[in-house]
Chain A
């Protein structure tokens, strides 16, 4: 490995480890001016709600923008023009849905996990277990492709062995969560967002400066750089099937609002105002980021050229690094590669803490110990769980080097949209919704997503599929079918069972979800 690359990587690893050490020490010091010797679960899972909305918004952006966004979308734009840009829209617009109907109620009802939110209305052990399984599965399904991609990417960029790359990233994510909990996770994500935005902004400025700040001039060069010519700017280059675009759009807009690792970030701020500020900050950062990836994609075609991009990597994922090399030589390439590394580390760290919460808090504390585990016991179990998840995900990823697991990313969004979102929405807003509806909705949405992906072209393909025969279900992204099935399951599960919903509990939960006010006997609300 070249010395410049090595120094940049060392810098990222060093900075993030210092953050973790600082987070661990900070948590041992004080919460509300009271000196403590040990970290608490409140600090471990929620960073003691100490983040401001702006900080949390940056952390949400850091949690959300994965390598698939940074490298994948710039590459998709470079290869497919307009169609590549379509990906970014769904990722962004979903934040309005979250802002309007999900974020504040989740903050008011939950303590540490999504299971807490549903349990506020349905304190049934089976329901908490189902929520925990769903959150855990989503986090792991998302984590594995990120880790596999990190190994492949670092091998491609820097020539580091796949196993070493995966082991380094796997170890780092585990260390951050075990020692620093949510505080370290949040700050690693904030630092990543700052790096990522600065890096993409710098690249965009250099691209525009190369064309004397004339966008039309840049577009002329894009036309010459791609074999698509004029067609580059028109729809139909990546998606031949319009139903596929519709289905993908559905999974993107509804999936984000059901992703547990994003939703648990609303527990890290102190009030509804900061929740709003978090979502709005995140939407601005994510939106501006996608505008800049458009410039990077166009710049790649104009300056690197389509044929060179495809000859280095046919998926287009190396668009941003190649552009950086053309614009700033090895130094800029090293900087952008280090940013890609930080991007992956920040995302997988968020996923580890999300998976840990569902196992240690929901399963161990609430189901195994029936909510009676001591503070020390809960914290110990949480840290061991985080370590176990880190090791397990790393081992899995090591064995998946030669297997295409990219479909797991789209599966994650579909499962979140068809299994978590219907239950979350109906729990918050539908008076008649009952426990049977929760169980049926979650199970049906979950199973439908898996079955449709299993019988879809990701898995069933005569040439490159895990199953060598034609797909039984035609869509790569089954959101169009799976999401309505999830909603329908929850509705029919409720209507077809005679079990009455607890109306008083609904009112109590609804008031709390909308206002943060908890019925508390004769005491004043603000006491």
Chain B
């Protein structure tokens, strides 16, 4: 089928492979970090309730609260990083459109 052959060409094109490599290189580590960081909060409350209730030095806030607030920061920082990185993805997509 003409359409399939064309999809195959696009799929194997250098620009698309480059785009997917860039996406993987960014998304997989960030997503892994997000999931680990997110689930470590309930797990640390489960396994280390004592230390999580203790006050963090300098800030004077329990570690549990500090960890909870840091999840907000993580969400916004990762969103901001993706927003910037995605500009490069868009550039590659534009190249694919022009070449096509």
- A521 interface neighbour in B2, B23, B41, B97, Cβ under 8 Å: B2
Which of B38, B43, B83, B98 has its CB near the most chain A CB atoms (within 10 A)?
B38
CB-CB under 8 A for A273 and B97, given A235-B53, A279-B79, A519-B3: no
List 15 other contacts, CB 8 Å, given A233-B62, A249-B38.
A89-B38, A93-B34, A242-B46, A243-B46, A245-B46, A272-B86, A276-B86, A280-B83, A284-B79, A287-B75, A511-B16, A517-B96, A517-B100, A525-B98, A525-B100
Q: Which residue of B lies closest to A244 (CB)?
A: B42
Contact B79 A525 (CB under 8 A): no
**A100 close to chain B: CB less than 8 A:** yes
Complex contacts, A235 vs chain B, CB 8 Å:
45, 49, 52-53, 64
How many Å lie between the Cα of A85 and that of B98 in the bound state? 49
B78 A236 Cβ-Cβ under 8 A: no
The 8 A CB mask of A374-394 against B (1 = contact, 0 = none) is 000000000000000000000
**Any B CB within 8 A of the CB of A208:** no
Q: Count residues of chain A with CB under 8 A from any CB of chain B.
A: 49
> What DSSP secondary structure best describes chain A's contact surface?
helix
Chain B residues, Cβ within 8 Å of A498: none
Q: CA of A273 to CA of B7 in the docked complex: distance in angstroms?
A: 23
CA A93 to CA B35, docked complex, whole Å: 9
A501 at the interface (CB under 8 A from B): no
Which residues of the partner chain B approach A90 to less than 8 Å between Cβ atoms?
38
- The smallest C-beta distance from B27 to any residue of chain A, in angstroms, reads 5
A97 touches B39 (CB 8 A): no
> Does residue B56 face the partner (Cβ distance < 8 Å to A)?
no
Number of interface residues of B (CB under 8 A): 49
Q: Which residue of B lies closest to A233 (CB)?
A: B62
Question: In B9-66, which residues have CB < 8 Å from any A CB?
Answer: 10-11, 16, 19-20, 23, 27, 30-31, 34-35, 38-39, 41-43, 45-46, 49, 52-53, 62, 64-65
Q: A21-29, A341-349, A502-510: which lies at the B interface?
A: A502-510
Please, how many angstroms separate the alpha-carbon atoms of A519 and B5 in the complex?
9
Using a CB–CB distance below 8 Å, which chain A residues touch chain B?
82, 85-86, 89-90, 92-93, 95-97, 99-101, 233-236, 242-243, 245-246, 249-250, 253, 272-273, 276, 279-280, 283-284, 287, 290-291, 504-505, 507-508, 510-511, 514-517, 519, 521, 524-526
Residues of B within 8 A of A86 (CB): 41-42, 68
B27–A101 CB distance below 8 A: yes
Cβ contacts under 8 Å, B35 to chain A:
253
Least CB distance from A525 to B in Å reads 4
A residues in contact with B96, CB < 8 Å: 515, 517, 525
Nearest CB in chain A: distance from B69 CB, A: 9
| A507 and B68 within 8 A (CB) | no
List chain B residues, Cβ under 8 A from A243.
Answer: 46
**CA of A95 to CA of B96, assembled, Å:** 29
Which residue from B1, B16, B46, B65 sits with its C-beta under 8 Å from A504?
B1
Q: For A280, what are the chain B residues with a Cβ–Cβ distance below 8 Å?
A: 79-80, 83
CB-based contact A507/B30 at 8 Å = no
Tell whether, in the assembled complex, residue A97 and residue B31 are in contact, meaning their CB atoms are under 8 Å apart.
yes
Closest Cβ–Cβ distance, residue B65 to chain A (whole Å)? 7
CB distance from B20 to the nearest CB of A (A): 7
Q: Are B38 and A283 neighbours in the complex by a CB distance under 8 Å? A: no
8 A-B pairs with the lowest CB-CB distances in the bound complex, closest first: A242-B46, A508-B7, A504-B4, A525-B100, A507-B11, A525-B97, A519-B6, A245-B42
Contacts of A284 in B (CB 8 A): 76, 79
The minimal Cβ–Cβ distance linking B26 to chain A, given in whole angstroms, is 9
How far is the CB of A185 from the nearest CB of chain B, in Å? 25
Q: Are B82 and A276 in contact (CB under 8 A)?
A: yes
Q: What distance in Å separates the Cβ of B90 from its nearest Cβ neighbour in chain A?
A: 7
- In the bound assembly, the distance between CA atoms of A505 and B64 in angstroms comes to 48
- Residues of B within 8 Å of A236, CB to CB, are 49
Bound-complex Cα distance A85 to B93 (A): 41
Residues from chain A with Cβ under 8 Å of B4 in the complex: 504-505, 507-508, 519
Whether the pair B79, A283 counts as a contact (CB closer than 8 A) is yes
User: How far does the alpha carbon of A525 sit from the alpha carbon of B86 in the complex, in Å?
Assistant: 20
Complex CA–CA separation, A118 to B14 (angstroms): 27
1/0 per residue, CB under 8 A from A, across B70-84: the answer is 011011101110110
Contact between B90 and A272, CB atoms less than 8 A apart: yes
Contact A249 B42 (CB under 8 A): yes
The distance from the CB of A494 to the nearest CB of chain B, in whole angstroms, is 20
One of B27, B39, B62, B74 near A249 (C-beta < 8 A): B39
Inter-chain contacts of B49 with A (CB < 8 A): 235-236
B11 x A511 contact (CB < 8 A): yes
